[in-house]
Amino acid sequence: MNKPKLGIIFLAKINHQKEEIREMREYYLQRFAQCEEADVLIPEDLILEEADAVKAVKDMEARGANAIVLVVGTWIYSSVAISAVNDIHVPFILYGLSDKIANGNFGASIQIKYVLTEMGKKFLYLYGEARDENNIDTMLRFARAAWVKEELRNKKIATIGGKCMMMYQTQVNEFDWKAVFGLDFPQYDSLQIFKEMEKISDEEAHKVEKEFLEKVDKVIWEADNGEKLESDAIFTQAKMYLAFLRMKELYHIDVFANKCMPEMSALPYGYGYAACLATCMLNEAGIMTACEADVPAGISMYILHLMTGGQKVFFADIGRKHKSGNGATFFNCGTAPISMADHSKGVELWPIAGNIADDALPNEYLCGKMKGASIKFELETGKKVTILRVGGNGDTLRMHVANATTIHRDVAPDEIFGQRWPGFGLEFEHDTKSFFDHTVGHHYSLVFGDWSRELKYLAEILGIGYVYDC
């Protein structure tokens, strides 16, 4: 897991008793000596003078600190802390010791907080005892969020094939999103993927095909309705996966948002396999790839991937509200990473339903069939998860975050999509109305665990909105 760097500076006044702040510094040195969540930078001694505080912050920044903590350990003149962070370039935390009154440290931090707020500074204010583990946990989460913000800068999310099927919500105002996230938005044609597929040897593709099939429990070569899976469906998708890897290296791409339909999925355009398995392989390899040229979805996936230290991410559509309870079913046409599956329920490979081939086609080209494949699996039930979608532009730019617990999805026996595609059910703690009212599109990204606090800190650091449901 890539670690953020967290700088911690301890401030005190030269003519005040400093036992408490020295003890806190010593405890932190021991506490963070073997820290797995972050590399922690602590100066050799307490900081007593304004010039030294300014220098200490600059040194921390020069050493690559993603976030800095200023601990107010005694009464200090406001300028010691304020000058230190006035020209800071990284997010920071102001921490006031609050359990002893002899030095006035708590009051000093409170009045410094007020001044910094009036100055328009963005920061997190904490107070507590010297060994407050909740505050230490908060510092580490905040540092993680600050690291993600830096990691996003100048990364490239590449749209393959342009805008998808009049889905307005899949595109962004690139001026706004570049200013906030620092991302770049290159665009390439599907033809370039097909061209790179020609460079892939059969030997390479067969190797990937074999490795992929080893992860699948069952292949349904022919469905009950007569739809068949072509014998070369996995092989050609392995070539496409390797072609995407070539594109990634050729153009230094970090995230993909692939249009797919109709150029890759429809037989009238010459290919007809869709990109589902190739996308599954990419996401399994940790290369975040969203469907339907959905740029906000790709960014949401990448944020979750970074924040969680490289977890796999499930891209899914909102499918239906459950008839009873606070549940909803999500699904996707086969691009989710297999390692997220509940293998006790099996992982299956199915022919993609034929009507998918006609999406985005004019009537005269409708053919009702295709040659592609999709994966079917479910998530383990009873797992705490976080889902995210970033949406909006300008003043409305925001993260919509929700926590939920995985449950069985609500699928009827005769629903082709439900029987052939990967998906999951989510149970929300409260009524689903709040979640549906806050949605910013129909594609959401899921990771295991509760990452809502880190995402909240990231939204605050970026200066965008944060909407939370559970």
Q: DSSP labels for 370-426?
A: ---EEEE-BPPTT-EEEEEEEE--GGG-EEEEEEEEEE-----TT-HHHHHS-EEEE
Dihedral sign, CA of 172, 173, 177, 183? positive
Whether the pLDDT of residue 167 is over 90: the answer is no
As a 3-state breakdown, the chain gives helix, strand, coil percent values, each rounded to 5, of 40, 20, 40
Token digits of residue 192: 């370039």
Q: For residues 315 and 336, give the distance between their C-alpha atoms in angstroms, rounded to a whole number.
A: 6
CA distance linking residue 116 with residue 119, whole number of Å: 5
Backbone angles phi, psi at 209, to 5 degrees: -60, -45
Q: What is the pLDDT of residues 347-387, one digit of tens each?
A: 999 998 877 777 788 889 888 888 999 999 999 999 999 99
pLDDT in tens, 174-202: 999 999 999 999 999 999 999 999 999 99
Residues in the chain: 470
**Core vs surface per residue 255-286: b (16+ CB within 10 A) or e:** bbbbbbbbbbbbbeeebbbbbbbbbbbbbbee
Reported as type and span, the H/E element at residue 126 is strand 124-128
Q: Please, is 197 exposed, middle or buried when counting C-beta atoms within 10 Å of its C-beta (0-12, 13-18, 19+)?
A: buried
Please name the amino acid found at residue 285.
Answer: A
Nearest to 335 by CA among 356, 314, 305, 352: 314
Model confidence over 261-319: pLDDT tens digits?
889 988 888 899 999 999 999 999 999 999 999 999 999 999 999 999 999 999 999 99
pLDDT tens string 134-152: 999 999 999 999 999 999 9
Q: Which residues, in sequence order, are bridge partners of residue 446?
A: 314, 387
In the chain, % of residues over pLDDT 90: 83
Q: SS3 of 16, please?
A: coil
Provide the edge-to-edge strand list for the sheet that holds 373-376.
218-219, 348-351, 373-376
